[in-house]
Structure 1
Amino acid sequence: MSTLPEPGGTGTGRGPRRPSSAGRPRSGAADQAIVAAALRLLAERGPARVTIESVADCSGVAKTTIYRRFRNRRELLRHALHSVAAIPEPAADLPIVERVIVLLDQFRLGIEEVVGLRVVATLLLEADDPEFADTFRAQVLAPRLELLLRVFQEGVAAGELRAEVDYRRVVDLLVGSYFARHAIDGGVERDWPRSALDLVLPTILRAAPTAG
Structure 2
Amino acid sequence: MKKATSGGRPISTKASSDLKAAALRLIRERGYEKVSIATIAKEAGVARQTLYNRWNTKADLVLAAVFEETHNYAAEPVLDDAKDCRTKLEEFLINVFEHLKIDGDTLRALIASAQHDATFHASFYTNFVLPREKMITALLHHAQERGEFPAKRNPEMVSTFIHGAFWYRLLNRGTLDANFAKDVTTEVFV
Return the TM-score normalized by structure 1.
Answer: 0.66
What is residue 179 of structure 1 aligned with on the other side? Answer: 167
Q: Which residue matches 1:7?
A: none
Using the alignment, how far apart are the partners of 2:97 and 2:129 within structure 1?
A: 11
1:161 equivalent in alignment to 2:149: yes
Could you tell me how far 1:148 is from its partner in structure 2? 0.7
- Determine which of 37, 60, 77 is the counterpart of 1:90: 77
Query: What does residue 6 of structure 1 align with?
Result: none
Kept in 1, the 8 Å contact 2:41–2:47? The answer is: yes
Deviation digits for residues 14-46 of structure 1 (CA, Å, limit 9, x no counterpart):
xxxxxxxx7445544322111212334555633
Report if the CA contact (8 A) 1:43-1:118 is conserved. yes
2:149 alignment partner AA: L
Q: Which one is further off, 62-71 or 142-151?
A: 62-71
**Which residue of 2 is the match for residue 36 of structure 1?**
21
Which ranges of structure 2 fall in alignment gaps of 5 or more residues?
A: 1-6
Q: Distance in 2 between matches of 1:25 and 1:139?
A: 23
1:192 paired with 2:177, answer no
Contact 1:81 1:136 in 2 (8 A): no
Query: Higher relative contact order by CA 8 Å / sep ≥ 6: 1 or 2?
Result: 2
- Cα distance, 1:156 vs structure 2: 0.9
Q: Is the 8 A contact 1:181 1:188 kept in 2?
A: yes
Matched, 1:52 2:30: no
Aligned match of 1:108 in 87, 92, 97?
Answer: 97
Give me the whole-angstrom Cα distance separating, in 2, the residues matched to 1:126 and 1:60. 28
Unaligned runs of 5+ in 1: 1-21, 203-212
Cα distance in 2 for residues equivalent to 1:183 and 1:85: 18
Larger radius of gyration between Structure 1 and Structure 2: 1
Shift of 1:74: 6.1
> Matched residues in 2 for 1:138 and 1:176: separation?
17
The one-letter code matched in structure 2 to 1:89 is E
User: Normalising by the residue count of structure 2, what TM-score does the alignment of the two structures yield?
Assistant: 0.72
Aligned to 2:3: none
8 A Cα contact 1:122 1:128, kept in partner: no
1:30 counterpart letter in structure 2 = A
Larger % of helix: which? Answer: 2
For the 8 Å contact 2:26–2:40, the answer to whether it is kept is yes
Q: Deviations over 1:109-135 (max 9, x none)?
A: 45443x533433553674323332321
Is residue 43–residue 119 contact of structure 1 (8 Å, CA) maintained in 2?
Answer: no
> CA, structure 1 residues 144+119, in 2 after alignment: closer, same or farther (shift >3 Å)?
same
Give, as a single letter, the amino acid of the residue that structure 1 aligns with 2:38: E
Percent identity of paired positions between Structure 1 and Structure 2: 23
Mapped contact 1:50–1:73 kept (Cα < 8 A): no
Q: Secondary structure at the match of 1:171?
A: helix
